[in-house]
A and B are shown apart, each in its own frame.
Chain A
Amino acid sequence: MPAVSKGDGMRGLAVFISDIRNCKSKEAEIKRINKELANIRSKFKGDKALDGYSKKKYVCKLLFIFLLGHDIDFGHMEAVNLLSSNKYTEKQIGYLFISVLVNSNSELIRLINNAIKNDLSSRNPTFMCLALHCIANVGSREMAEAFASEIPRILVAGDTMDSVKQSAALCLLRLYKTSPDLVLMGEWTSRVVHLLNDQHMGVVTAAISLITCLSQKNPDEFKTCVSLAVSRLSRIVSSASTDLQDYTYYFVPAPWLSCKLLRLLQCYPPPEDGAVKGRLVECLETILNKAQEPPKSKKVQHSNAKNAILFEAISLIIHYDSEPNLLVRACNQLGQFLQHRETNLRYLALESMCTLASSEFSHEAVKTHIETVINALKTERDVSVRQRAADLLYAMCDRSNAKQIVAEMLSYLETADYSIREEMVLKVAILAEKYAVDYSWYVDTILNLIRIAGDYVSEEVWYRVIQIVINRDDVQGYAAKTVFEVLELVVGRWFGSVLLGRPLVQFNLLHSKFHLCSVPTRALLLSAYIKFINLFPETKATIQEVLRCDSQIRNSDVELQQRAVEYLKLSSIASTDVLATVLEEMPPFPERESSILAKLKKKKGPGAVSVTELDDSKREAGELNGGADRGPDTASTPSPSADLLGIRSAAPVGAAQTNAGSLLVDVFSDSGPAAPSAAVNDDGFLRFVCKNNGVLFENQLLQIGIKSEYRQNLGRMYLFYGNKTSVQFASFSTTVSCPGELQLNVQSKPVEPLVEGGAQIQQVLNIECITDFCDAPLLNIKFRYGGALQNLTLKLPVTINKFFQPTEMSSSDFFQRWKQLSQPQQEAQKIFKANHSMDTEVLKAKLLGLGTALLDNIDPNPENYVCAGVIQTKGQQIGCLLRLEPNAQAQMYRLTLRCSKDTVSKRLCELLAQQF
C-alpha cells in the first residue's frame, strides 16, 4: 500500500487542521473555529452552487470541528446531498458525517433512507457496504422500519458477495438490538444458521454474532447451531497454526471466531447428542492441553489470544457445571495464573476462580489456593486486582476457613483503599453472620469491624446486628456488655431488657454523650429515653425536661424535632398502661432476608451473592436467630425505629391493623417516614395467591389485567394492557425477568409497540417451573405517554402454589403422612391475626383457590381446615399438607404447613399468612 493514497487530499482541510493545532490558547482555537464556521455557513448559503469537492471539504471540516467537541447545527442537508453524489469519495464522506452526527429522530431520515435504498439496490458491493455500515452505525427505529425486511434477503441471497454478507449480518444484528419487534423470523433464519458452515471465515465471524444474539432470544428455533458450532470449533482447534492463513493471529488459529463459538455454546445446555458432546469435550480438553504447551511466540499477543480462548472455554465449562474433571483442570490452570508475572492474567484468574468457587465440583480445589489469594490481597499493587482477591476470598469462604478469611479481611480493612471499604465491610458482616459458630466471635468481629471502619459501616449492617442480637437472648448480655465497654453507641432497642438498677445514673451517663452523637444516633437515643420513662417512672421528670428543652423540641432536624415533640406528648398524655403497651418490648424480628445481603446483591459483579447463598444464609440466620418458635408475629409497638429498617417486607401485615385500633394513633400517625410507594408493586401480587384472574395494576394511564391457567409444572398467563387515556402509547415494550436464580422459565413474545388510546393489547407468557422458588418474576413495562417515558415494574403473581395438584386422601392416610413429615425443618408455622372476614365460605373459597384439595372429616375439630396437594416442578414432586386453625374469639389463626421440602413449607407459610 502506498504511504497513504491521499488522492483526494483536501488541502483546505489539512490547512485548517494545522491552524487549529497551532493555536496557542483555547480562546484562539475557538476564534479560529468560529471564523471557519462563518465561512462555511456563507458558502452553503451563497448563491453560487457548490461543486461536489467543495461540499465534501466543508462537510469534512464540520465533522472535524464536531469531533473537537463543538456543537454543529448545520450542514446536515449538504451531507445528505453528498449521499447521492456519483463520486465514491463524496458519498463516503456524506455517510461518515451522517453516522457520526445525525441522531435518530432527525427530519432528514427520510431523505437519508432514500439514498440508502438506492445504494442497496445498486448491486455495487462497495456502495452496498457503505449503506449497510451507515444503517449499522445509526441503527435508528426509522431505519429498522425501512430496511428490516430487506436486509435478511441480502444476507441469504445466493449471489451476494462475501463482504456484503458480513456487513448485512452485523447490520441486521444492530437493528435486532434496537427494534427486535421489526426483525421478523422467517425462512431466512434457518439459512443464517448454516452460515456457520460457510467457507469464508470472515462471513462466519460476522454471522456468528448475529446467530448468538438470535439464539438467546429464540433458543429453540436456533438449536441446530449447537452441533454446527461444535464441528466448526473442532476444526479450528485441531488445525495447525498455519492452516487458516490470515485468520491465524500470532500462531493462534482464529482466536476471535473461537471465542465467539464458545460464547454461542454458552447459550445452550450441554449437547444431548453423545457424539456432539464427546467432540466438544475433546475440544475443551485440547484447549486446556494447549495452555500447558510451551508458547510458540514470546509476543504478548500470542499468549493473550491463546488465553482469551482458554478463559472462554473455562466459562463454558463453568456454564455446564457437569464435568468434574474439566472443572478441576480449569481450576488448576487458573491456579498457575494466580502467580503469573502478567498482572492481567492474575486479575482474570482471580475473577474466573470466583465463579468456580460456587460449583460443588471445584469448590474444594479453589480453596487450596487460599494462601496465594490472601497474599494477593496483601501485596498486589493495583487496587482492582486486590478487589478481585477480596471477592474470591468471599466466594471461597465456608465453615472450614471462615475464621481465617474474616480475620484476613479485617486486617486488610485497616489499610484498604477507600473505594472498596464499604463493600469489604458488607462482606465481612455477611461472612461473620453466615458462619458464626459462637456468638461471642460474631459480636467481637462486628465490633472490630465498627472500630476499624466505623464510617463505612452502613445502616444495613447496624440493623442486621441489632436484629440478630434481639432474637438471641443469650447474646444480648454479652453484646450489651461489650458495647457498653467500648461505648460506641447505645441502641434504644435492646436497652430496656438490659439495663438494671440506678436508672437515673445511667440516663445521665447516656445523655452526657448525646451531643457527640450523629443525628440518627440521637434519634435512637430519644426513643431509648421514652422507654426509660416507661420502665423507670422516676426518670420521667428529668427526661421530660430534656425533651422540652429548645435544642430538642426546636431542633432543626425534622426527625429529631418530631420525635421530641411526640415523645413529650406521649409521656404526658398517656396513662401508664397505655405507655406500657405502646412501648412493650419488640417481638423478635420475623426471619427474613438479611438486609446486608440485599445491599450487596444490589452491587453487580462477580462478587455478588447468588440466591442459593441467600437461602443458605437464611437457614444459618435461622439458627443464629434461635429458631422461629417465638409466638405471634404481630408487632405491638409502633416504634419509630421499625420504619427505619427500610425493608418493604419488614412490617408484618398485622401491624397496620393493630395500630389502627390503638388509641394513640393520632400521636403516632405521622411519626417516622411514610412508607414510600415501593418501586415494585407488592400488593397486587399478594392478591393473586389464591386466585388466577383479575386486575393486577391500575393507575391513571394504564390498566393491566391477568388471566392465568396452570397444569402440572406449566402455566400460561394472559396479560391485557389497556390504555386508559385517549392518547397513543408509543414505544410500548415489556420484559419479563427472573431476578437472581429464580427457577422459572418464562417465555414471551414482544408486544406491539403502539397502543392506541382506549385500546387494549394482549400478551401471552408461557411459564415452566424448574424447581421450587421464592421470588417472583418481574414484569417491566416501558412506554412513552405524551413524550414522557413511563417505566414501571410489577411482581408477576406466579407463586409456588400455582403448581399444586390437589390430592384427596382419607383421614388415616393424612395423619400417617403428617407424622412422616415430622422433622422440625419440614414444618413451618405461623400464628397471626385475621385481616379479613373469618366467614367459612370465604375461607373455603380461598383454600380451594390455593390449588390444594380441601379435605373434609379429617381433623377431629370441625372448625379446622385441612388441605393436601402435590407441587409439580420439572424435576420433582413436593408433597404438602396444610392445617389452618381459626380462633374466632381471638380473631387469630394458627397455620401449619408440612412439606417434603423445607424451603417450600417456609415459602407457603409466608404467602398464606397474608391471605386470611
Chain B
Amino acid sequence: MPFLCLFFMLLFSRQGKLRLQKWYVPLSDKEKKKITRELVQTVLARKPKMCSFLEWRDLKIVYKRYASLYFCCAIEDQDNELITLEIIHRYVELLDKYFGSVCELDIIFNFEKAYFILDEFLLGGEAQETSKKNVLKAIEQADLLQEVRYSPR
C-alpha cells in the first residue's frame, strides 16, 4: 500500500520549458528526460475544465496550472489525489510568500531558492513540515546566515 509519497515533481511553462524538476526515485538522466518530454506533452494537451488527475503508466499524475506555470506531481495509483493537489498549492503559497507575488521569472532567476524551499517542505517525497510559518522561518534563518562566516569549534 502506498503512503502519500511523491515520485517526482515537475514545474514547466505553457511553452513546455522545464523550470524545476525534483526526483524522489532513482532514475537515469535518460529516463528522466523521456518522462519529462512525455508528461509535458500530455498535460499541455489537456483542456482547462478537465479533471486534474490522469493515469499515466502505472502512476497517477496530479497537476494544476498557476498562471503560466504547470505544477505536476506523480503519485502511486492508489494514493490520495486531493491531498497531493494541496501539496502543490501549499508549495505555491510558500513561493508566493517568499518572493512576494511570485511569477515565473522569480523561479527562473532564483531557481536555487525554489529548490531550498521545496527541500524544507518536502523531503524524500514526503511532507516534512506543512506549517507555512515554520518553513519560511527555516529559509529566513538560512538567508540570515548567508554571509556569516561559521568558525568551527
Q: Interface on A for B, CB 8 Å cutoff? A: 1, 3-8, 14, 17, 21, 60, 63-64, 67, 69, 71, 86-89, 92-93, 96, 100, 104, 122, 124, 126-127, 129, 132-133, 136-137, 139-140, 163, 166-167, 170-171, 173-174, 177-178, 201-202, 205-206, 209, 212-213, 216, 245-247, 249, 254-257, 259-260, 263-264, 266-267, 301, 304-305, 307-308, 311-312, 343-344, 346-348, 381-382, 384-385, 387, 604-605
Contact = CB atoms under 8 A, between A and B. Distances in A.
Interface in B127-153: 127-134, 136, 138, 140-143, 145-152
Contacts of A127: 150
Contact of A202 (B18, B21, B99, B128): B128
Which of B20, B115, B126: most chain A Cβ within 10 A? Answer: B126
Contact of A344 (B81, B89, B145): B81
A209 B142 contact: no
Given A7-B147, A139-B26, A263-B4, A205 B128 contact: yes
Given A137-B119, A247-B131, A89 B145 contact: yes
B68 interface: no
A14 B105 CA distance: 11
B54 A384 contact: yes
A126 B126 contact: no
A122 B20 CA distance: 31
Contact of A3 (B47, B100, B112): B100
Contact of B86 (A1, A21, A255, A267): A255
Nearest to A174: B124
A256 B150 contact: no
B98 interface: yes
B91 interface: no
Contacts of A129: 138
B144 to A, nearest CB: 8
Interface string B1-37: 1011100000000000010110000100100010000
Nearest to B115: A96
Contacts of B65: none
Contacts of A201: 130-131
Contact of A14 (B26, B109, B142): B109
A139 B100 contact: no
Nearest to A304: B82
B153 to A, nearest CB: 8
Give the residue among B47, B116, B150 with the most A Cβ atoms within 10 A.
B150
Given A14-B109, A88-B145, A170-B123, A4 B98 contact: yes
B111 interface: yes
20 contacts: A3-B99, A5-B146, A7-B147, A14-B109, A88-B142, A88-B148, A136-B124, A166-B128, A171-B123, A171-B124, A206-B128, A246-B134, A256-B4, A304-B82, A308-B82, A344-B52, A347-B53, A348-B82, A381-B47, A604-B77
B51 interface: yes
A25 to B, nearest CB: 14
Contact of B130 (A17, A64, A100, A202): A202
Contacts of A301: 86, 89
Contacts of A385: 51
B33 A69 contact: yes
Contact of A305 (B26, B81, B83, B109): B83
Given A139-B26, A246-B134, A260-B3, A67 B119 contact: no
B21 A86 contact: no
Contact of A205 (B18, B54, B85, B129): B129
B58 interface: yes
B128 A167 contact: yes
A312 B113 CA distance: 33
The SS class assigned to the A binding surface is helix
Interface string B60-103: 00000000000000000100111101110110000001111000
Contacts of A17: 108-109
Contact of B151 (A60, A86, A133, A347): A86
- Shortest beta-carbon contacts, A-B, top 5: A308-B82, A308-B83, A174-B124, A88-B145, A246-B131
Given A88-B145, A139-B124, 4 more contacts: A17-B109, A63-B112, A173-B126, A266-B1
Contacts of B151: 86
Nearest to A203: B129
Given A4-B106, A92-B116, A202 B129 contact: yes
B18 A209 contact: no
B138 A311 contact: no
A549 B59 CA distance: 52
Contact of B129 (A166, A346, A347): A166
A8 B147 contact: yes
A93 B83 contact: no
Contacts of B110: 4, 6
Contact of A21 (B49, B108, B113, B138): B108
A120 to B, nearest CB: 13
A348 B60 CA distance: 12
B123 A205 contact: no
Most chain A CB within 10 A, of B5, B113, B128, B132, is at: B128
Contacts of A246: 131-134
Given A304-B82, A304-B85, A202 B126 contact: no
Interface centre among B51, B124, B141, B147 (most CB of A within 10 A): B124
Q: Which of B29, B47, B58, B86 has the most chain A CB within a 10 Å cutoff?
A: B86
B152 to A, nearest CB: 7
Nearest to B134: A202
A216 B115 contact: no
Contacts of B126: 170, 173, 206, 209
B48 to A, nearest CB: 11
A127 B5 CA distance: 25
A1 B133 CA distance: 11
Contact of A163 (B21, B133, B138, B147): B138
A209 B108 CA distance: 32
A260 B140 contact: no
Contacts of A3: 99-100
Contacts of B82: 304-305, 307-308, 311, 344, 348
B58 to A, nearest CB: 6
Given A88-B150, A343-B51, A67 B130 contact: no
Contacts of A88: 142, 145-146, 148, 150
Nearest to B99: A4
Given A87-B149, A136-B123, A137-B119, A5 B143 contact: yes
Given A63-B112, A126-B141, A209-B5, A312 B77 contact: no
